[in-house]
């Protein structure tokens, strides 16, 4: 039995059989909250998050982890899930303001998971834009990845892969909040991209 | 994408079936480690001026966020924090004071060969019993808001599962009625005890003007 089986059994969350699963809503993290507070960023909100031009539609629609297909609760779009992950952190830090003229938008450029008999790997990347009153003040490609010890046995490997893949959304949000160019653009102290 | 999906999927399903056989009612018993207990009223720290707090929660598996478990365990954590009496309101939105309570429960393996044990019990239809344990490390950070320093406390708990006919009773553990009861009990006890340790900290006492 793998670690966490008590929780999995109690909550019906065993993730071993082939099926389609919808990601739960993204949750804010303490790491993001502390960065947002310390960085004295102004309030902002998210705008459009969509797949980048040329991206295969299925990359935005789902990610396959062995026999499990993961999809997004937001119109079946993983790019929109990224936007919601950023939203969740902004809201938790008190930095979300739907009326702000600072708007974060994004184009999903990659979402992938692969695991072999012993090593797992997942990556997520997006082109993020910040506009102020409609003018682009920041634009950058951001990418995050995860590596972990995988297992031949799906009962162990699948939950680990799902957790590592899902954690990338918060990692990408944190990478954005930590970006000095982003902070400078948001605070109006940068010339723009 | 999944490079070994075709090979692994039938294997995963077969193992899932074995697991489920081992987990049929009557085949598995659940225990919560008795190193922690439900706090009595006298043991609970009380505060003179409780304030609202923003609650963040993350359930992790081997240190990695487990979004689905986080979603499902959250109500138990909220209940435990509300039951502490240390806060007037527990909310997911920022509290007026800026106070934040970050609760992390990290599920770690207690027995390296836990998977093999469970497999053997299932494979022999319960004739070969085994006990396996899940460890849970609860870490609570309290950020008082303003310039106050962060307070961090951590405690451990465990859930044991006895599988099969010949499995013994784990020592130092209380039996509970189901897997769900085990999770509820573990979360309630480890969160309330860790939170009580946070409340005993001098820094916390100063922020809420404890009596």
Using the beta-carbon criterion (under 8 Å), do B58 and A112 form an inter-chain contact? no
- Is the pLDDT reported for residue A147 higher than 60? yes
Q: Indicate whether this model's pTM tops 0.95.
A: no
Write out pLDDT tens, residues A76-128: 999 999 999 999 999 999 999 999 999 999 999 999 999 877 899 999 999 99
pLDDT confidence tier of residue A2, bands split at 50, 70 and 90: very low
Using the beta-carbon criterion (under 8 Å), do B4 and A155 form an inter-chain contact? no
* Number of CB atoms found within 10 A of residue B102's CB: 22
- Is the pLDDT reported for residue B15 higher than 60? no
- Is the pLDDT reported for residue A170 higher than 80? yes
Structure tokens at B76: 């138990």
Write out pLDDT tens, residues B155-178: 999 999 887 665 577 888 899 999
Using the beta-carbon criterion (under 8 Å), do B182 and A6 form an inter-chain contact? yes
Q: At B92, is the secondary structure helix, strand, or coil?
A: coil
| Residue B81 C-alpha from the chain's centroid | 13
Write out pLDDT tens, residues B178-189: 999 999 999 999
Structure tokens at B101: 């309570």
Q: Does A38 touch chain B (CB under 8 A)?
A: no
Q: Does A94 touch chain B (CB under 8 A)?
A: yes
């Amino acid at each position: 039995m793998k670690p966490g089986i008590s929780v999995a059994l109690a909550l019906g969350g065993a993730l071993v059989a082939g099926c389609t699963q919808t990601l739960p809503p993204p949750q804010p993290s303490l790491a993001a909250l502390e960065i947002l507070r310390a960085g004295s960023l102004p309030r902002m909100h998210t705008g459009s998050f969509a797949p980048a031009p040329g991206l295969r539609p299925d990359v935005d629609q789902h990610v396959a982890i062995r026999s499990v297909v993961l999809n997004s609760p937001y119109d079946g779009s993983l790019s929109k899930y990224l936007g919601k992950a950023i939203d969740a952190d902004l809201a938790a830090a008190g930095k979300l303001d739907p009326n702000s003229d600072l708007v974060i938008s994004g184009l999903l450029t990659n979402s992938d998971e692969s695991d072999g008999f012993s090593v797992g790997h997942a990556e997520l990347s997006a082109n993020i834009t910040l506009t102020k009153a409609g003018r682009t003040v920041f634009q950058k490609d951001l990418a995050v990845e995860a590596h972990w010890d995988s297992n031949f046995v799906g009962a162990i490997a699948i939950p680990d892969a799902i957790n590592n893949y899902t954690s990338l959304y918060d990692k990408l949000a944190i990478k954005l909040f930590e970006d000095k160019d982003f902070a400078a653009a948001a605070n109006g102290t940068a010339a723009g991209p | 994408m999944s490079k070994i999906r075709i090979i692994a999927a039938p294997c995963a399903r077969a193992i899932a079936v074995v697991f489920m056989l081992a987990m049929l009612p009557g085949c598995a018993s659940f225990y919560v480690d008795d190193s922690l207990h439900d706090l009595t009223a006298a043991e609970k720290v009380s505060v003179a001026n409780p304030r609202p707090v923003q609650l963040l929660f993350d359930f992790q598996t081997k240190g990695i966020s487990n979004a689905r478990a986080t979603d499902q365990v959250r109500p138990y954590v909220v209940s435990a924090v509300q039951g502490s009496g240390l806060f007037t309101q527990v909310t997911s939105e920022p509290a007026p004071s800026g106070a934040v309570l970050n609760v992390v429960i990290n599920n770690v393996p207690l027995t390296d060969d836990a998977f093999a044990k469970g497999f053997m019990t299932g494979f022999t239809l319960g004739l070969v019993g085994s006990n396996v344990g899940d460890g849970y490390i609860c870490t609570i950070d309290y950020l008082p808001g303003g310039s106050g320093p962060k307070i961090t406390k951590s405690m451990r708990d465990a859930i044991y599962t006895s599988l099969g006919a010949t499995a013994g009773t784990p020592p130092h553990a209380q039996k509970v009625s189901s897997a769900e009861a085990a999770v509820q009990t573990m979360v309630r006890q480890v969160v309330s005890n860790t939170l009580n340790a946070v409340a005993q900290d001098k820094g916390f006492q100063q922020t809420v003007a404890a009596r």
